Structure 1
Amino acid sequence: MALHADLTREIDEGPAGPAVGAFFDVDGTLIAGFSAVAFLRDRLASGRMGARDLVDALLSTARFRLGRLGFSGLIAATAAWLRDVPEQELEELSERIFARALATAIYPESRALVQAHRRRGHTLAVVSSATRYQIEPIARELGIPNVLCTRLEVQNGRLTGRHLWPTVYGGGKAMAARELARAQGIDLAQSYFYTDSHEDLPLLEIVGRPRPTNPNRRLAAVAALRGWPARRFTTRGTPGLVDVVRSSLALASIVPSFALGAVPGVLNWSRRDMVNLAITTWGEVGTALAGVHLQVHGEEHLWSHRPAVFVFNHQSAIDMLLLCKLLRRDFVGVAKQEARRNPLFGPAFALAGTVFIDRFDRQRAIAALRPAIAALKAGMSLVIAPEGTRSPTPRLGPFKKGAFHMAMGGGVPIVP
């Protein structure tokens, strides 16, 4: 069964075609948390926001939450802070913040929903009170072509400190959705809207398929009263104490795993026996502690082409555990030079024969690959992330040439 099949079943079995709209709120719906917080943190860290600006921002937000300031007043205050900022600077900042903070906040469940709607040929749109600088990178990543959002005024390439009317908030979202429906022939009675907030009731009430998603308390109550199906996503957001403890124990279990591996290593005078047992033990124990259960398709390819260069899309620290769980023995990894200095993993990686690459010195990096090619010729497999860095999203980035040079030099296949 495909991942998230239960979540997407009604879409897969429902009407197809562009007359069906799929509207998505962003904060709390497509992503965990609030995109504005990431921008606020950046302004504070960079020194572009002083203590007085921070106090003003917090007071404006508090007044808005207490109902003493309308959304137009809140966005007006936000726009004022950005007066005279070059728009290009804000666009570049939005891309950096997306890569650093927002890309990893996208719910996998949201990705599944968007992909299901795309498969059915529906017309997709983000409809958000946030500005385009916050949400356009998210929409682009998910393949959502229509962005309905609050706009800030720009003149001569600089923000004026004012916003454009109307804001896309509350009834403004319903207005924006109606305009898109008229322009693109969307039947709102057949359409979906996903949101977490009761403030979006005006749009929820005009679509035929309102879908409260991670609903706040007031929206959850309305959904229960009206019989709207609600769903909650749990794969992103602040981890609980149990999750933190389990993840920490899983990663830390590398130490006792290598200690156990030392037993056959000493008895057989074999470093490879030691490393193989340590790798297998860490993969099994670590994934069990982390609560990870794997569904492997094409498992035969892990063993039918050895030695080989195994390539993977590096997205988190747990990737190391998964590789040990899957490959189990007779392989060495290729890692960035900085990993050698990690007090927990560095010694274990070095003992396992990891090839460390200086990513900022091309000549030294090329020289470091020679032992890797020798290992391939000696019957060992290699594991490398060909993008050369951790990926913030499941989307593949450009590959570096190292994996291919090593495979050709060792005369072995590449197994993705």
Structure 2
Amino acid sequence: MRAKLMGYFLLGLIRVLTGAQARWWGCPPKAEQRIYFANHQSHADLVMIWAALPKELRHNTRAVAARDYWTKTPFKHWITRAVFNVIYVSRERNAQEDPLEPLIDALHAGDSLILFPEGTRGHMEEPQAFKAGLYNLALQFPQVELIPAWIANVQRVMPKGEVVPVPVPVLCSVTFGAPMHLQSGEDRHDFLQRARLAVMALRDV
């Protein structure tokens, strides 16, 4: 119950602070298994996409988050685990551990994912190069829709280094694009570049 109440509180807070708008430009919100992938410039990105999804989709959609940051304090650990039901991944290279394993398990269980393919927050207007994880998941789960998304202006509300949102007169939005899939014979470099361009194309929609 406490986690549910916190979820409602955060949902209202993010909408008040950011004027968050969900723009389903390339696809409607549907209860289908999907991987949502987006640009990443703020810790608030996770909450922005979660808040943009309709209530019936939030339950089965799990964000992917860095274990070292989001388990650093008991509160961060609780809120990401109990409220957002995130999937923790390790950013440390460990030959004994496949960082995609918990994502693969979640997809086998029927969950949808929220993924930030840059792997870390950027500070430029354009996303950094995408890492291979999105490609590997697309290769293993060709039936799952890949939905690009562009998160606009949230870095102005919560700039890098800030832990408390900064009230500014700007509207934030999440624009969802058309579904895409890995094409037959498409190599990793070409796919990741196409996925990155699909995200960037939503900036001016």
* 2:126 equivalent among 390, 395, 413: 395
Partner of 2:17: 290
* 2:110 equivalent among 344, 360, 379: 379
Question: What CA deviation, in whole Å up to 9, does each residue of 1:194-244 have, x standing for no partner?
Answer: xxxxxxxxxxxxxxxxxxxxxxxxxxxxxxxxxxxxxxxxxxxxxxxxxxx
* 1:337 equivalent among 41, 51, 67: 67
Code of the residue aligned with 1:259 in structure 2: it is R
TM-score scaled by length of structure 2: 0.58
Code of the residue aligned with 1:314 in structure 2: it is H
* 2:89 equivalent among 354, 357, 360: 357
Partner of 1:315: 41
Question: What CA deviation, in whole Å up to 9, does each residue of 1:284-322 have, x standing for no partner?
Answer: 312233142325142734426x21111111111221221
How many aligned positions are there?
141
Q: Structure 1's 342 and 314: CA in aligned 2 closer, same or farther, altered over 3 A?
A: farther
Question: Contact conserved, 1:282 with 1:321, CA < 8 A, in 2?
Answer: no
Q: Structure 1's 342 and 402: CA in aligned 2 closer, same or farther, altered over 3 A?
A: farther
Deviation (angstroms), 1:323: 1.2
Q: Does 1:261 align with 2:27?
A: no
Question: Contact conserved, 2:20 with 2:48, CA < 8 A, in 1?
Answer: no
Code of the residue aligned with 2:146 in structure 1: it is I
Question: 1:370 and 1:386 mapped to 2: Cα distance?
Answer: 16
Question: 1:312 and 1:331 mapped to 2: Cα distance?
Answer: 14
Deviation (angstroms), 1:375: 1.4
* 1:346 equivalent among 77, 80, 83: 77
Q: Secondary structure at the match of 2:64?
A: strand
Question: Contact conserved, 1:312 with 1:384, CA < 8 A, in 2?
Answer: yes
Larger Cα Rg: Structure 1 or Structure 2? 1
Question: Contact conserved, 1:313 with 1:387, CA < 8 A, in 2?
Answer: yes
Question: 1:294 and 1:350 mapped to 2: Cα distance?
Answer: 25
Question: What CA deviation, in whole Å up to 9, does each residue of 1:144-183 have, x standing for no partner?
Answer: xxxxxxxxxxxxxxxxxxxxxxxxxxxxxxxxxxxxxxxx
Deviation (angstroms), 1:394: 2.5
Q: Structure 1's 363 and 311: CA in aligned 2 closer, same or farther, altered over 3 A?
A: farther
Question: Contact conserved, 1:282 with 1:324, CA < 8 A, in 2?
Answer: no
Question: 2:96 and 2:85 mapped to 1: Cα distance?
Answer: 17
Code of the residue aligned with 2:138 in structure 1: it is A
Question: 1:308 and 1:358 mapped to 2: Cα distance?
Answer: 22
Question: 1:284 and 1:353 mapped to 2: Cα distance?
Answer: 15
Identify unmatched segments of 5+ residues in structure 1: 1-257, 263-277
**RMSD value, Cα:** 2.6
Matches within 5 A, 1:108-127: none
Question: Contact conserved, 2:21 with 2:52, CA < 8 A, in 1?
Answer: no
Question: 1:359 and 1:391 mapped to 2: Cα distance?
Answer: 16
Question: 1:362 and 1:282 mapped to 2: Cα distance?
Answer: 37
TM-score scaled by length of structure 1: 0.31
Q: Secondary structure at the match of 2:23?
A: coil
Code of the residue aligned with 2:66 in structure 1: it is K
> Which one scores higher on RCO, CA 8 angstroms, separation ≥ 6?
2
Question: Contact conserved, 1:301 with 1:415, CA < 8 A, in 2?
Answer: no
Code of the residue aligned with 1:318 in structure 2: it is A
Identify unmatched segments of 5+ residues in structure 2: 149-205
Q: Secondary structure at the match of 1:320?
A: helix
Question: Contact conserved, 2:34 with 2:113, CA < 8 A, in 1?
Answer: yes
